[in-house]
Amino acid sequence: MRRHRSTAARRHLGTTAGVAAVVMATGCSFFSFDPDVEDGAQGEGTGEAPMLAALVESGDLPPLEERLPDEPLVVEPNDRIGVYGGEWSTALVGAHDWPWLGRTVAYENFVRWAPEWDEAIPNLATEWEYNEDATEVTIHLREGIKWSDGEPFTADDVVFALNDVFNNHDLSPMAASDPGTAEKLDEYSLTITFDDPNALWIENNFILYQLVEKPLHYLGEFHIDHNPDADELAEEEGFADWVEMFDAKAGVLSSVQYWQNADMPTLRAWRVVEPLADSGQMVLDRNPYYWKVDPEGNQLPYIDHVEFDIMQDEEVMLVRALNGELDMHSRHFNTLANRPVLAENRESGGYGFFDLVPGEMNTAMISLNLSHEDDDLREIFNDHDFRVALSHAINRQDIIDVIYQGQGEPWQGAPREESPFYNEGLAKQYTEYDVELANEILDEAGYDERSGGVRVAPNGAPVSFDLSVPTDFRPDIIDSMEMVVGFWDELDIDVDLDTEDRSLWQNNREENEHDANVWSGDAGLRDAMYDARWYAPVHDGESNFGIPWAKWFRSDGDDPRSIEPPDEVKEHLEMYEAVEGEPDPELRDELMADFLSVSQERFYAIGISLTPPGYGIVADHFHNVPESMPSSSVYNDPGPTNPEQYFIEE
């Protein structure tokens, strides 16, 4: 609908401009009634977009052969070869919603995930190889790629980004956690060296996309190592020092700032025209130097412009979606609760659904704090039998029926069936609802005494703790935990449900002050390997059952807030180190499977149910979007499905 309106408006602009040429030729004066926006043309794929061909003809742009690398990356379209033109309307909720930018218009790394997420495939890098102990990776860049201003992209850019930006303590906090160092081998190849084995790095690391968005030829001027007069320049431009200036230009600390700089050359399919703001609109245009083509040799992307409406509220986004004003979107409004209303309006809104296979494997993960400061509670929580009993006492099917409309199945913290790491034992153990069994287990484990109707642990402490749930996160978790606490009443244990403001919840976790808490169970597809937070205490911010243990693991015991884990946990952590140190993908998958089978024995946290499939919406005139794609922050949907080959045709 939206498209009709804007096309009509453009045609209108043409006629007015023609008829009223006497008054004003361009229509950009104050006394015009027309939206003063650029005209966009649609055309068949003939090597390059009409808007670029026109620029080549007028001599403002070098011909296509000079802009493309000798061997451009060929992208297989999902369905068919597309046509050039059009505008992709999508939306952000505030400026801090920038990850959606990263996923839609900025997914370019050295390697990328294959759309099916079975392997990593070449992208900016044509080849990459690790040394034997995975402490060094050598990357060969695709030759002849150019930044969006026509300057070549070389190893120097990457070396600059890693060594001069992210290893500079003034510029980046990442320098404190040793992100590795780069060494240039020749124009198009470099080696990156790490302190510890890091075989997973090239496929998934937070720093990766930031290494290929820092053009030396543009940013060098603002960096003191490359321009001794940078401080003077900073003063001229009104900054306190070169650090502040560099951060403002390059957005080292925050991607919000990165996207606010419209002058930044890019390697991505679209470049910023109207920068990110906290309201209004952000607009991107096609990058004339984009280095990918379709199988017929047409330069990508097909779509001319991408437009992000910046909203304040998710409900507004929902209404826009219902009205068919979002061409392709799968963030924020696409909840289970909104599905019926979106389904009902498919026809009038002119859109359909595509499936998202959630990376999330569990609707709620209950973590008893295994490294609790309190000796009594820690002893109780570390009792394997105690956790098994709690798990058996939960009627998961009831929760699924009441809260999740019957979607999902009883599940522990375990990879999904779609994942290469699916392990039925891990997924299904102790999920059977059996209160009698649970009580029996507790009696046998020595919890048979009661004081005031509450069980007493073998160490003499009453079994009584708080279960904290964050508000402002997911209302379904609060509902399901109310039911869980009800089920646990049958065990004669005293659990208080404590709903806390999200930042308080976060703070308690960081300070190791929680008894037990609840969060959603992320990383249940291939991402289980890259983010094993629920399978062992490897994540020092998110492995809620043992944050101080994870801190010990990550800092080699240096962090003052870390606690040394018991030997059995240490052994398990070593298995994960082996995964991280294995350069061979197949062997690595095997090591991962072994690691997960020990997770099954350890049974760190209690899961509830498998997260039901998600969905996104795609307009009827918007093509080449796969019918189904994985959804995970490691996969970065829809990035790996190649948004540059999406196209618009009525």
Partner 1 sequence: MRRYVTRRVLYMIPTLFAISLVAFLIIQLPPGNFLTAYIAQLSAQGQGVDGAQIRALEERYGLNDPVVVQYWRWISGIVFHGDFGQSFEHRREVSDLIWDRIGLTLALAVTTLILSWLIAFPIGVYSAVRQYSAGDYVVTFIGFVGLATPNFMLALLFAWVSFRYFGQSVGGIVSQEYTDAAWNLGKVMDVVSNLWIPVLIIGTAGTAALIRVLRANLLDELRKPYVTTARAKGLPEWRLILKYPVRMSLSPFISTIGWILPTLVGGEVMVSIVLSLETTGPLLVNALQSQDMYLAGSFILVLGSLTVVGTLLSDLLLAWWDPRIRHQHVERV
Question: Which position among 15, 46, 193, 312 is part of the footprint of partner 1 (CB under 8 A)?
Answer: 312
* Contacting partner 1 within 70-99 (CB under 8 A): 94-96, 99
Tokens describing residue 463: 């079994």
* Contacting partner 1 within 330-369 (CB under 8 A): 348
Contact flag: residue 541 with partner 1 (CB under 8 A): yes
* Contacting partner 1 within 502-521 (CB under 8 A): 502-504, 506-508, 510
DSSP 283: E
**Residue 91 one-letter amino acid:** A
Question: Which position among 81, 175, 483, 575 is part of the footprint of partner 1 (CB under 8 A)?
Answer: 175
For residues 31 to 50, the per-residue mask of contacts with partner 1, x marking binding by CB under 8 A and - elsewhere, is xxxxxxx-------------
DSSP 432: S
Distances (CA, A) of 26 to 16, 35, 36, 58, 194: 10, 11, 9, 20, 57
From 269, 298, 300, select the one nearest 101 (Cα to Cα).
269
Distances (CA, A) of 246 to 173, 223, 234, 250, 315: 14, 7, 9, 6, 37
The DSSP result for 587-626, as a single string, is HHHHHHHHHHHHHHHH--SEE-BPPPPEEEEEETTEE---
Question: Which position among 219, 224, 322, 393 is part of the footprint of partner 1 (CB under 8 A)?
Answer: 322
Q: Which helix (H) or strand (E) holds 195?
A: none
Question: Which position among 119, 315, 385, 590 is part of the footprint of partner 1 (CB under 8 A)?
Answer: 315
* Contacting partner 1 within 242-271 (CB under 8 A): 247-248, 251, 253-254, 256-257, 260
Strands (E), 435-493: 450-451, 454-455, 464-470
From 454, 125, 416, 424, select the one nearest 291 (Cα to Cα).
125
Stretch that binds partner 1, among 222-230, 392-400, 425-433, 497-505 (CB under 8 A): 497-505
Q: Which is nearer to partner 1, 27 or 410 (CB)?
A: 27
Question: Which position among 18, 19, 30, 586 is part of the footprint of partner 1 (CB under 8 A)?
Answer: 30
Q: Which is nearer to partner 1, 64 or 256 (CB)?
A: 256
Q: Which helix (H) or strand (E) holds 27?
A: none
Stretch that binds partner 1, among 350-358, 386-394, 408-416, 550-558 (CB under 8 A): 550-558
Whole-angstrom distance, CA of residue 329 vs CA of residue 88: 10
Q: Which is nearer to partner 1, 447 or 519 (CB)?
A: 519
Whole-angstrom distance, CA of residue 501 vs CA of residue 504: 5
Q: Which is nearer to partner 1, 5 or 570 (CB)?
A: 5
Q: Which is nearer to partner 1, 16 or 78 (CB)?
A: 16
| Residue 283, Ramachandran bin (φ over 0: left; ψ between -120 and 50: alpha; else beta) | beta
Angle CA 256–260–261, to nearest 5: 130
Question: Which position among 14, 63, 280, 475 is part of the footprint of partner 1 (CB under 8 A)?
Answer: 280
- How many residues lie near partner 1 (CB under 8 A)? 75
Query: SS3 of 248, please?
Result: helix
Least Å from the CB of residue 141 to partner 1: 25
Q: Which is nearer to partner 1, 102 or 115 (CB)?
A: 102
Alpha-carbon Rg for the chain in angstroms: 27
* Contacting partner 1 within 188-227 (CB under 8 A): 206
For residues 441 to 480, the per-residue mask of contacts with partner 1, x marking binding by CB under 8 A and - elsewhere, is --------------------------------x-------
Tokens describing residue 221: 């001027």
Question: Which position among 14, 173, 406, 557 is part of the footprint of partner 1 (CB under 8 A)?
Answer: 173
Query: Which positions ≥6 away from 305 have C-beta within 8 Å?
Result: 40, 86, 87, 88, 270, 273, 283, 284, 285, 286
**Residue 240 one-letter amino acid:** A
Contact flag: residue 540 with partner 1 (CB under 8 A): yes
Cβ neighbours of 318 (radius 10 Å): 18
Question: Which position among 11, 384, 450, 561 is part of the footprint of partner 1 (CB under 8 A)?
Answer: 561
Least Å from the CB of residue 634 to partner 1: 7
Q: Which is nearer to partner 1, 87 or 479 (CB)?
A: 87
Least Å from the CB of residue 616 to partner 1: 17
Strands (E), 342-397: 351-358, 362-368
Contact flag: residue 176 with partner 1 (CB under 8 A): yes
Question: Which position among 52, 145, 159, 174 is part of the footprint of partner 1 (CB under 8 A)?
Answer: 174
Least Å from the CB of residue 5 to partner 1: 7
Stretch that binds partner 1, among 188-196, 263-271, 438-446, 551-559 (CB under 8 A): 551-559
CB 219 within 8 A of CB 246: yes
CB 604 within 8 A of CB 390: no
Contact flag: residue 26 with partner 1 (CB under 8 A): no
Q: Which is nearer to partner 1, 45 or 359 (CB)?
A: 359
Q: Which is nearer to partner 1, 283 or 390 (CB)?
A: 283
Q: Which helix (H) or strand (E) holds 51?
A: helix 50-57
Scored b (16 or more CB within 10 A) or e, 357-388 reads bbbbbbbbbbbbbbbbeeeebbebbbbeebbb
* Contacting partner 1 within 563-602 (CB under 8 A): none
Least Å from the CB of residue 638 to partner 1: 15
Least Å from the CB of residue 176 to partner 1: 4
Question: Which position among 119, 129, 313, 594 is part of the footprint of partner 1 (CB under 8 A)?
Answer: 313
DSSP 456: B
Contact flag: residue 228 with partner 1 (CB under 8 A): no
Q: Which is nearer to partner 1, 101 or 457 (CB)?
A: 101
Question: Which position among 23, 25, 28, 121 is part of the footprint of partner 1 (CB under 8 A)?
Answer: 28
From 258, 366, 410, select the one nearest 604 (Cα to Cα).
366
Contact flag: residue 537 with partner 1 (CB under 8 A): no
* Contacting partner 1 within 627-646 (CB under 8 A): 632-634
Least Å from the CB of residue 194 to partner 1: 14
Whole-angstrom distance, CA of residue 170 vs CA of residue 65: 41
